[in-house]
Amino acid sequence: MRIAFDARPLIGPRTGVGVWLEGLMRGLTAATNWRFVLCLPRQVANLGLNDLTDRCEVLAPPFPLPGTLWLHTIASPLLAGRADVFVATLGVLPRRVPVPSVLVVHDVTPRTRPGAHTLANRFCFNAYHEESLARADVIVCVSEATRTAVGHLQPRAGRRALVIGEGVDPLFSPAGEGETGEDVRRTFADGRKFIVQLGTVEPRKGVATLLAAHASLLAGRAGAPDLVLAGGRGWGGGWLGAALAHHPDASRVHLPGYVSRTDARDLLRYAEIVVLASEEEGFGLPLAEALACGAACVTTDAPALLEIAGGAARHVPRGDVPALTNALGVALGPEVQSALRAAARERAGALTWKRPLAEWRELLVEAAHEQTETSGLRMPSDASARHRRP
């Protein structure tokens, strides 16, 4: 079988959707003999998938084009005869797809929080998303929270959407016995203990709230850990400078930028606390990875984070600096920290790739082979009950 993907998330350093897509492709490669068609708006020298070269065909124009334009005008017709199913990974489906289509929705924040996205992001998503929901043969949401958000936009789409969660790479696991993490602290926090938030440094990740809470934490206890904000810079920049300007000791805040997957794992393993201060998430992969590493986690009450944590983290209201400050202080207590780490290790077993990979295999086989009188494939409206993460 041949599966085509909108492969734009694989361009550049791996972040959320790119991590998910690579994990899905690698899982399908190990479990099947399927081949993949990667739809890209430009030629890319290295996608980081050299070991999968014999399983992948790249479909890209001879000269760069805007991604959405490329999908709508050129890439989509070329899928006829090349693929059995097309997976739209970014919530936008080309208008004319000659094969059964699967629309993946990670979040709808360009619609619900437009101020947290660039103009280009908002336009490309909002101009086509609801139309894509209506036309997709199958809709997959990565969490129940995302499915609920889709339902608010388009009730029928929410009812027929499936929920298939993301899986955590086996790379993310607790530290070995006797490993202290001293080298990680030297590299990222000048040798001091640290709290970490992993993810793009941009407004919707609640970075300003976290900086204010860390400042309050330092004011209450001089020996509090440093703060590491590990992730590439998102759009905008003035807000970050202003937030740092109000911090009493900016030398205790570290901004290493994008970090490798191995460094991300080590930061999650050896942090005193892993924080996700996000205003909204579609899934919250850094939280799942942190739980897999046995980390003590504090997050906001964003619905997806409540869902993924499954009771294994402390939660605070979004944007509430005093509540976050208090939760961090409590979680630094040895007994609470130990309990959170134990809860994380227990929760981690439900967050592997095993279940979502099996669900994706079943879905793609059905998408390639089932037909209906109207559109080639329509999953039954109650199909989402068969695809739920715990």
Task: Of 302, 307, 291, 387, give the one whose Cα is nearest residue 343.
Answer: 291
DSSP 174-239: PPPTT---HHHHHHHHTTS-EEEEES-BSGGGTHHHHHHHHHHHHHH-TTPPEEEEES-B-S--HH
Question: What sections of the chain are H helices per DSSP?
Answer: 16-31, 67-70, 76-78, 109-112, 119-126, 129-135, 144-153, 155-160, 182-189, 207-220, 238-245, 261-270, 285-292, 303-309, 321-331, 334-348, 354-369
- The kind and range of the H/E element at 149 are helix 144-153
- Beta bridge partner(s), residue 275: 298
Q: Which residues of the chain have pLDDT under 70?
A: 112-124, 126, 235-237, 370-390
Only one residue has tokens 């905008």, namely 236
Decide: 197 and 277 in contact? Cβ < 8 Å.
Answer: yes
Pairing status of strand 226-230 against strand 162-163: unpaired
- The kind and range of the H/E element at 6 are strand 2-6
pLDDT of residue 370: 63
Q: How far is CA 327 from CA 95, 182, 221, 300, 332, in A?
A: 47, 25, 14, 10, 9
pLDDT of residue 372: 39
Residues 233 and 9: their CA atoms lie apart, in Å, by 17
Residues 271 and 274: their CA atoms lie apart, in Å, by 6
The maximal CA–CA distance of the chain, rounded, in angstroms, is 69
**Angle value at C-alpha 174, between 210 and 263, nearest 5 degrees:** 60
DSSP letter (8 states) at residue 101: E
Residues 89 and 38: their CA atoms lie apart, in Å, by 11
Residues 239 and 242: their CA atoms lie apart, in Å, by 5
Q: Which two tokens stand for residue 373?
A: 């009188």
Decide: 319 and 263 in contact? Cβ < 8 Å.
Answer: no
- Residue 274's SS3 state is strand
Q: Which two tokens stand for residue 68?
A: 């959405």
- CATH dotted code for 182-348: 3.40.50.2000
Q: Which two tokens stand for residue 327?
A: 């939760």
Decide: 203 and 238 in contact? Cβ < 8 Å.
Answer: no
Q: Please report, for the chain, the start and end positions of each structural domain, with discontinuous segments joined by +.
A: 2-167+353-386, 182-348
pLDDT of residue 369: 84
pLDDT of residue 222: 79
Residues 242 and 232: their CA atoms lie apart, in Å, by 18
Residues 91 and 141: their CA atoms lie apart, in Å, by 10
Averaged confidence pLDDT in the chain: 90
Residues 300 and 276: their CA atoms lie apart, in Å, by 7
Only one residue has tokens 């939760």, namely 327
Residues 215 and 225: their CA atoms lie apart, in Å, by 11
Fold of 2-167+353-386: Rossmann fold (3.40.50)
Residues 15 and 289: their CA atoms lie apart, in Å, by 13
Let me know if 182 is exposed, middle or buried by CB neighbors in 10 A (0-12, 13-18, 19+): exposed
Only one residue has tokens 């609920």, namely 148
Residues 110 and 326: their CA atoms lie apart, in Å, by 31
**2-167+353-386 and 182-348 in the same fold:** yes
- Residue 271's SS3 state is coil
Determine the distance from the C-alpha atom of residue 198 to the mean position of all C-alpha atoms in its chain, rounded to a whole number.
Answer: 11
pLDDT of residue 117: 61
pLDDT of residue 374: 37
pLDDT of residue 291: 98
